[in-house]
Amino acid sequence: MSTYHRIVPNTWWLQRRPYILFMIRELTSVFVAGYCIFLLVLVYKLTQGADVYGNFMAAMKSPISVVLHLITLVFVLYHTITWFNLTPKILVVYRGEERIPQGLVAGTFYVGWLVISAIVAWLVLGV
């Protein structure tokens, strides 16, 4: 008489929506890495002189670059939103018996994100 061991298929995550969303969240890291490589290439082209850099800038204006950027943006935004929404679970702050509401903690990060984005845009674009 033996206990029965059920095998978990490697496609376990396709069976329920929460698992699919989890997997998408994890896969955002690939797009994060992809953009890191892009930035690195951008800086490298900068070291190769004005002509090479200019060609790269022109390539950035191509449809395929725009499409890849947009896809990357969707995934990176999903990373940002899931990241900020999960942070209040980790950063638990109490005032006496009351816990600071999770929405307030997450909200602080969203506000910080907008502020930092504005600063980065101002620095990079010089506007």
Partner 1 sequence: MAKSNEPIWWSLFSAGGMVAAMIFPILIIITGILVPFGLAGGDDSLNFQRIHKAISQNNSVKLILFIVISLPLFHWAHRFRFTLVDVGLKSMSTLISILCYGGAIAGTIVSAVIFWNI
Partner 2 sequence: MAETMQLEIFRYHPEKDSEPTFQIFEVPFREDWVVLDAINHIKDEIDGTLSYRWSCQMGVCGSCGIMINNVPKLSCAAFLKDYYPDKISIEPLTGFPVERDLIFEMDDFMTKLTEIQPYIIRKEGEEKPLDEGEYLQSPAELAHFKQYSMCINCMLCYAACPVYALDSSFVGPAAIALGQRYNMDTRDQGRDARQELIASNEGIWECTFVGECSAVCPKDVDPAAAIQRAKISSTVDWFKDVLIPWGKK
* Chain residues in the site for partner 1 (CB under 8 A): 10, 13, 23, 26-27, 29-30, 32-33, 35-40, 42-44, 46-47, 50, 53-54, 57, 60-62, 65-66, 68-70, 72-73, 76-77, 79-80, 83-84, 112-113, 116-117, 120-121, 124-127
Cβ 112 to partner 2, closest distance in Å?
Answer: 19
Cβ 16 to partner 1, closest distance in Å?
Answer: 14
In degrees, rounded to 5, the angle at the alpha carbon of residue 33 between the alpha carbons of residues 28 and 38 is 125
x/- mask, partner 2, residues 34-53, rule CB under 8 A, reads --------------------
Residue 85, φ and ψ in degrees, nearest 5: -70, -25
61-93 burial, b at 16+ Cβ within 10 Å, e below that, comes to eeeeeeeeeeebeebbebbeebebeeebeeeee
- Position among 16, 20, 43, 71 found at the interface with partner 2 (CB under 8 A): 16
The dihedral through the CA atoms of 3, 4, 5, 6 has a sign that is negative
